[in-house]
Each structure stands twice: as structure tokens, then as C-alpha cells.
Structure 1
Amino acid sequence: MADLDGRIGGITAGYDLHADWNGERLHGRIGGTFNGKDIDLKLRGGEVSGRIGGHIGGFDADGEVSESHVQVRLGGRIGGDDVRLDVSGAQVRGRFSGRLDGKDLDLHLDGDRLRGRIGGTFQGKDVNLRIGDVPLPLAALAAACAYKALEDMQDAQNDGD
């Protein structure tokens, strides 16, 4: 098994991401033991499906992942987000959520490290992941899933203030 291991966000406002890859399934944890979500993505023949989090408070992932692109829906039809990414060599660029309210995703592979940013300069989150043998497009999707989990958690905390 190869590991996907690193962090999305900063030291205090971020989530760790640890997952094992067996060539078909990426399974692990976003965040900590108590304040986090499981990640379980299956990739078969260019189709990806899975779940981030539990039955309550989680979201589905469903779509396409290839060497050149990612087109996945995270969550439901109404409250979900689209992830559309182009993969070119060691670069992954695209959009998370929508054209108007969405966030840019700009990542690059440096050795076995996937680095970059999801979101803008001020409200975005840094990405720093060791991807091992995990395919680059799937690792970028996992980063987007961790970003969504972190944003959802921060939005829930802000609603409670």
C-alpha cells in the first residue's frame, strides 16, 4: 500500500489527511479522531465513487477521474459542489464549486509532494501532501475533499457564533 499523507490549511486552521491506497481504493481520515471525517474513494475504469464522512454530516463523491481531468460532484444535487480539474504533466488546475462562488485550485507535483493552494490568497488553504503511488488526479481530488470537509466544519462553527 502507498500512503497519501499531509495537510490542507494552516497549523491551527487545517486538517491532516492520511489515507492508504491499494490500487483501487483510497481509504483513510481527514482531520483528527474526533474532529474529522473518513475518506473512502473507489476508482475503477475512470469512474470514482465514495463517501467522505459518515451517513450523517458526510457527503458523496461521484464522477470521472482520468490522467488528464477530474470531473466530480461532491455532495448532492442541491447542496453539493462541482470539482473540475485539468491535469497536465505535474500541474493540476481548475475550479472547486461554481464559476461565481467557487474557488480556484492550483496544485503542482514536486517530487512526491503535491503542493499549492485551493482558494484565493486571503481565504484559501495551502495544500502539502506526500502522494506516494496515489495517481495525481486522485490525490488532487482527495485534497479537494479535505478542503470541502474543512470549509464545511468552519462554516458550521461560524453559524454557531
Structure 2
Amino acid sequence: MADLDGRIGGITAGYDIHAKWQGERLHGRIGGTFNGKDIDVRLSGDQVNGRIGGHFGGFDADGEVSDTHVQVRLGGRIDGDDVRLDISGNRVQGRFSGKLSGKDLNLTLDGQHLTGRIGGHIDGKDVNLQIGSVPLGLAALAAACAYKALEDEQNDAAAASSGGSS
């Protein structure tokens, strides 16, 4: 069993997460073999950096993860998303992707079980993860990365299907 193990989203429109925590490195897979992305992030002190996906079709993660907050940029300066979260006890709350077009993130840790939601009641995704020894802030960041990977895939599929024919 992976140290970080669970699902973001529902049964049909969701991504599994399976990743190993090796003290400073979280490495594994978001999604399936074909419609997923590798996750490889390193946490050194409060500094986190890494990559979700490959050289093409992936995004970087760069920022800060501590016991009290997460402030990370996913992707580049222009085509990226901010993750800003506050951690208080067993609660993680904040925003993903900005004040206007972003999504709320609201998660609760019960033992090693992290549950909650990213986004609203209609367009959001459920979070259901076993986090093992993974730090809470890093587990919440992994959930946000899975959400972004899933949203990116769904947006790409919608754009491809709405392309007109001549």
C-alpha cells in the first residue's frame, strides 16, 4: 500500500492517487496508466518543488509547505495556479487558482484519513485519501495537484469535443 492512497473526484470522473513518502520525496502516480500523471515533489525544510506529469503536458510545483500553511505555484507564471491554504489543527482551508475564478479547498483530517472537497457543490471534486506519514500540508498539496490534473484533462477533452467540423 502506498503512503498516500485514495481518490479525487467520483467513481467515473476522478483520479486515484498512489504515492510513496520517503522522508523528503513524494513520488507516485495521479490517475491511471494512460490518463494520469506522475507526481514527484521534494520537501526540504519548508521549501517544496517538483513536477507533476512529464516534460510535455505536465506542470511544476514550487513554493512553501509548513505545519501552518501552503503557498505553492502550480505551473508557470502566466498559465499556472496558486494554492494558498491555512492549516489549523486537523483542518486545511483555502483557495486554489485565485480569488475570482478559483476554487475553495476545505479538508479535514481524521486520524490518517483526509476528506473534504475542492470546489463548490456542483463543479467541485470530493477528496478521500489515506495519508499515512505524509505531512498534512503536502497531502493537501497532492490533492490540489490531482484536482488540477483532472480539471486540465476534462478541459482538454471538452475543448477537443467542441471543435467544429467543416
Q: Distance in 2 between matches of 1:2 and 1:14?
A: 18
Conservation of the 8 A alpha-carbon contact between 1:2 and 1:22: no
Conservation of the 8 A alpha-carbon contact between 1:47 and 1:64: yes
Letter in 2 for 1:111: G
Letter in 1 for 2:149: A
Query: Which residue in 1 is equivalent to 2:19?
Result: 19
SS in 2 for 1:160: helix
Query: Which residue in 2 is equivalent to 1:51?
Result: 51
Identity %: 76
Query: Which residue in 2 is equivalent to 1:157?
Result: 157
Letter in 1 for 2:106: D
Query: Which residue in 2 is equivalent to 1:145?
Result: 145
Q: Distance in 2 between matches of 1:25 and 1:2?
A: 13
Conservation of the 8 A alpha-carbon contact between 2:86 and 2:92: yes
TM-score (structure 1 length as normaliser)? 0.99
Conservation of the 8 A alpha-carbon contact between 1:30 and 1:38: yes
Moved over 6 A (4+): none
Query: Which residue in 1 is equivalent to 2:92?
Result: 92
Q: Distance in 2 between matches of 1:127 and 1:138?
A: 14
Conservation of the 8 A alpha-carbon contact between 1:3 and 1:19: yes
- Unaligned stretches of 5+ in structure 2? 162-166
CA deviation after TM superposition for structure 1 residue 42, in Å: 0.1
CA RMSD of aligned residues (A): 0.9
SS in 2 for 1:132: coil
CA deviation after TM superposition for structure 1 residue 45, in Å: 1.2
Q: Distance in 2 between matches of 1:113 and 1:41?
A: 21
- Measured against aligned partners, the alpha-carbon deviations of 1:18-75 in whole angstroms (never above 9, x if no partner) come to 0000110000000001110000010001000000000000000000000000000000
Count of paired positions = 161
CA deviation after TM superposition for structure 1 residue 159, in Å: 0.1
Conservation of the 8 A alpha-carbon contact between 1:2 and 1:134: no
